[in-house]
């Protein structure tokens, strides 16, 4: 499909619409804690930067059959995101795909590469139509590492993606697996930003009858991949690659003592010369589905608040849930403002304006 066709499909992001949204957001009737917004926001009230916000290209359902697009995602449009962002005082959302369905089509490497390219060009068109409201993290056809390296270069150099999105695991391989080294070589060389989103690994689906995998397995797979990156030495070998982990790092903050105990083994002396915490504190973590005093309390005791980013998981959750939750976490005004906006601006310089 040509660029003009894609543009017509999403060209509802006119300057008039954006101005109207800014006007509405400037009114005092925000639905998510007016006093908090007033304390942190510039005059137009649209100031947050959401680094965990999902999109659903309209062609995805047909392209990924028989894997089904979840119903909550199926109705997504740029306009549904903008409406949600307005309510939460969000100026910019960085779009990324959820991990289900995947752009990787098993047994079809050319098709997977083509679908990743099509998704990334669609995301770039959304940003082009709404230049002040959206960014995107590009998809890669992993576990096809060769295709992933090529697509990362195209997405960063040609489409000017804000970063790269990856899953926590692919088959029986977590992100510290040596097979991914060519990709990390390239992304570290570029000092790229990498957004990591969990899934339920094939090892561990449907473990508790009647309970969705998202309840336990997503946080667990995040912790598995953190352990993989830390104990393999991958994180130490690639210090210039900046990584964001969704959902406050999953269950890792609650299990960090076990990381410390494992790290006592002499075999980790060279891969963890400064200890586990030094690595974990270099990573970044978002607040999506973790904006509670318990989760934020554990995370912010482990990592500096400068490494915590506002994320919502829209449309799986509405953004005001996260805003309201963060207001209960006992964070100071300066920390809340940094989480809401300035920490993301540090990672994505084009948003500093």
Query: Which pair of tokens denotes residue 270?
Result: 């060279």
DSSP 3: H
| Degrees to nearest 5, angle at CA 64 with 111 and 150 | 35
CA distances, 66 to each of 75, 143, 181, 201 (Å): 18, 19, 31, 19
SS3 per residue for 262-276: HCCCHHHCCCCCCCH
Q: With 60 as the cut, is the pLDDT of residue 134 above it?
A: yes
> What pLDDT was estimated at residue 128?
98
As a whole-number percent, the residues of the chain with pLDDT over 70 amount to 87
Q: With 80 as the cut, is the pLDDT of residue 17 above it?
A: no
Q: What average pLDDT does range 185-203 have in this prediction?
A: 92
> What pLDDT was estimated at residue 3?
42
> What are 301-344's pLDDT values in tens digits?
999 999 999 999 999 999 999 999 999 999 999 999 999 999 99
> What pLDDT was estimated at residue 21?
38
Q: What average pLDDT does range 75-89 have in this prediction?
A: 97
Say whether the peptide bond before residue 49 is cis (omega within 30 degrees of 0).
no
Query: How far apart are the C-alpha atoms of 255 and 324, rounded to whole Å?
Result: 26
CA distances, 221 to each of 27, 103, 205, 224, 353 (Å): 42, 19, 11, 5, 36
Q: What average pLDDT does range 122-149 have in this prediction?
A: 98
CATH class of 3-25+45-352: alpha beta
pTM summary value = 0.86
Using left for φ > 0, alpha for ψ between -120 and 50, and beta otherwise, residue 33 falls in left
Q: With 50 as the cut, is the pLDDT of residue 74 above it?
A: yes
- For residue 11, the Cα-to-chain-centroid distance in whole angstroms is 25
Cβ neighbours for 235, distance < 8 A, ≥ 6 positions apart: 176, 229, 243, 279, 282, 283
Query: How far apart are the C-alpha atoms of 11 and 2, rounded to whole Å?
Result: 14
Q: Quickly state the pLDDT bin for 68 (edges 50, 70, 90).
A: confident
* Helix/strand number for the chain, H first, E second: 17, 10
Q: With 80 as the cut, is the pLDDT of residue 55 above it?
A: yes
Q: Token pair 């006093």 is at which residue?
A: 35
Cβ neighbours for 232, distance < 8 A, ≥ 6 positions apart: 176, 177, 178, 271
Report the run of H or E that residue 343 belongs to, with start and end: helix 343-347
CB 253 within 8 A of CB 200: no
> What pLDDT was estimated at residue 67?
85
Q: What average pLDDT does range 183-198 have in this prediction?
A: 97
CB 165 within 8 A of CB 183: no
> What pLDDT was estimated at residue 179?
98
Other Cβ atoms within 10 Å of 23 Cβ, number: 10
CB 164 within 8 A of CB 187: yes
> What are 223-237's pLDDT values in tens digits?
999 999 999 999 999
**Better pLDDT: 182 or 8:** 182
> What pLDDT was estimated at residue 88?
97
Pick the closest to residue 229 from 200, 287, 191, 268 (CA basis). Answer: 268
CB 123 within 8 A of CB 136: yes
DSSP 313: -
> What pLDDT was estimated at residue 44?
52
CB 244 within 8 A of CB 194: yes
Q: With 60 as the cut, is the pLDDT of residue 285 above it?
A: yes
| Strand stretches in 38-142, DSSP E | 48-54, 90-96, 134-138
Q: With 80 as the cut, is the pLDDT of residue 186 above it?
A: yes
Local structure of 50: helix, strand or coil:
strand
Q: With 50 as the cut, is the pLDDT of residue 10 above it?
A: no
Cβ neighbours for 319, distance < 8 A, ≥ 6 positions apart: 32, 50, 84, 85, 87, 88, 90, 312
Q: With 80 as the cut, is the pLDDT of residue 192 above it?
A: yes
Q: With 60 as the cut, is the pLDDT of residue 54 above it?
A: yes
């Amino acid at each position: 499909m040509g660029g003009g066709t894609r543009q017509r499909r999403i060209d509802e992001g006119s300057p008039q619409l954006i101005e109207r949204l800014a006007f509405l957001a400037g009114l005092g009737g925000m639905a998510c804690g007016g006093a908090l917004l007033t304390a942190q926001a510039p005059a137009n009230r649209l100031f947050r930067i959401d680094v965990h916000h999902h999109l659903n290209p309209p062609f995805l359902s047909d392209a990924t059959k028989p894997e089904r697009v979840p119903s909550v995602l199926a109705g997504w449009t740029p306009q549904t995101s903008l409406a949600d962002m307005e309510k939460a005082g969000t100026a910019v959302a960085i779009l990324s795909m959820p991990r289900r369905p995947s752009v990787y089509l098993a047994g079809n490497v050319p098709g997977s590469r083509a679908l990743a390219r099509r998704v990334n060009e669609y995301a770039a068109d959304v940003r082009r139509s709404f230049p002040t409201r959206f960014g995107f993290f590009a998809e890669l056809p992993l576990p096809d590492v060769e295709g992933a390296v090529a697509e990362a270069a195209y997405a960063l150099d040609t489409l000017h993606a804000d970063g790269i999105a990856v899953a926590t695991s692919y088959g029986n391989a977590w992100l510290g697996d040596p097979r991914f080294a060519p990709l990390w070589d390239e992304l570290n060389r570029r000092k790229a930003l990498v957004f990591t989103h969990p899934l339920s690994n094939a090892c561990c689906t449907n473990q508790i009858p009647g309970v969705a995998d998202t309840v336990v397995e997503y946080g667990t797979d995040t912790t598995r991949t953190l352990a993989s990156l830390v104990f393999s030495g991958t994180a130490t070998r690639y210090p210039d690659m900046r990584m964001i982990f969704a959902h406050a790092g999953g269950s890792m903050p609650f299990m960090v003592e076990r990381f410390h105990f494992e790290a006592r083994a002499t075999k980790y002396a060279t891969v963890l010369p400064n200890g586990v915490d030094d690595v974990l504190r270099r990573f970044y973590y978002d607040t999506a589905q973790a904006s509670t005093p318990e989760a934020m309390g554990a995370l912010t005791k482990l990592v500096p608040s400068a490494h915590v980013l506002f994320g919502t998981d829209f449309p799986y959750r509405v953004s005001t849930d996260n805003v309201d939750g963060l207001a209960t976490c006992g964070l100071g005004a300066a920390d809340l403002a940094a989480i809401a906006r300035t920490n993301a601006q540090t990672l994505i310089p084009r948003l500093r304006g």
